[in-house]
Amino acid sequence: MLYPLKFKPVLKDKIWGGSRLNQLFGKNNNSDKLGESWELSGYENDESVVSNGFLEGNNLTELIEIYMGELVGDKVYDEFGLMFPLLFKLIDANENLSIQVHPGDEVAAERHNSFGKTEMWYVVAAEQGSELIIGFSKDCTSEEYLDALENDKVEDLLQRVPVKPGDVLFIPAGLVHAIGKGVVVAEIQQSSDITYRIYDYKRVDDAGNERELHTDEALDVINFSASLNPKTEYSLLENQIVPLVSCEYFTTNIIKFDQALTRNYGEIDSFVAYMCLEGSFIVETATQKTPVNKGDTILIPACINEIGLIPNSEVTLLEVHL
């Protein structure tokens, strides 16, 4: 019988990483360059491994192979087979990330035999004055962009967005973007690791080499239109389900609660994932109680239609499904 599944995070050091994923969420790899914690992943060679119950030690791909639609939902299994369609991360930008863009499904399939990469960010923490780069500040042509790139002025064309904890940003494929220094985000994205780096502040690696840019690949992917109103507007209501983002790839809600809630998923034919960003709670099914703490990401199999959420304290979590 399937049950709510917890996983060991896949921890990744990055040149721009820091120590806040450990400080905030206890993600400890004894590094001060921890940039990403892959919380739930079916990505090849980075599959999440179960850490609770009788399925402990099995990876996500193996579970899909065994349980198919029971785990992910029949329609999800029919479309994606053994590939888990989403990737969940926590990201700590201790330094500015490179400015980048991701291809959509068509280009990613043609060039990389991959899904495209549409994603969203929920800002978990942000130092005073922190910013994200989201698209262009005004409509731009490819010629203007290339000229700015050649003259080291591409930053002048881009839109800087001040952020604070709780801000939500939707990043469809083709939208130029970057996480700025001092920001920690929860990221929900298509299961893809295809990134075109378009600018990296002339940074060099330990050998004195600038990191590779993907100017040619990015050119026919970039959306050169101005990015208006980049933040997702929402009102956080306690003990209610508040929609954040709904697109063809995923639906994300935020739930802030200090009272017991019941969630019924019988209609959606999809797995559900929770990212717990504050507090702790119990997921209660007909047969099991599973503790969830701040920093945990938990997968609710599609065959479990109804669960109870029992808070130990005030909880903030992201609820995601297809």
Q: Which residues are catalytic?
A: 197
Distance in angstroms (rounded) separating the CA atoms of residues 200 and 74: 42
Summarize the chain as % helix, strand, coil (round to 5). Answer: 15, 40, 45
Calpha distance 316→278 (Å, rounded): 5
Q: How far apart are CA 151 and CA 153, in angstroms?
A: 5
Label each residue of 145-161 as H, E or C: HHHHHHCCCHHHHEEEE
Alpha-carbon distance 147 to 294, whole Å? 46
CA 229 to chain centre: 20
Question: Could you give the CA distance from residue 218 to residue 101 in angstroms, rounded to a whole number?
Answer: 7
CB atoms within 10 A of CB 278: 15
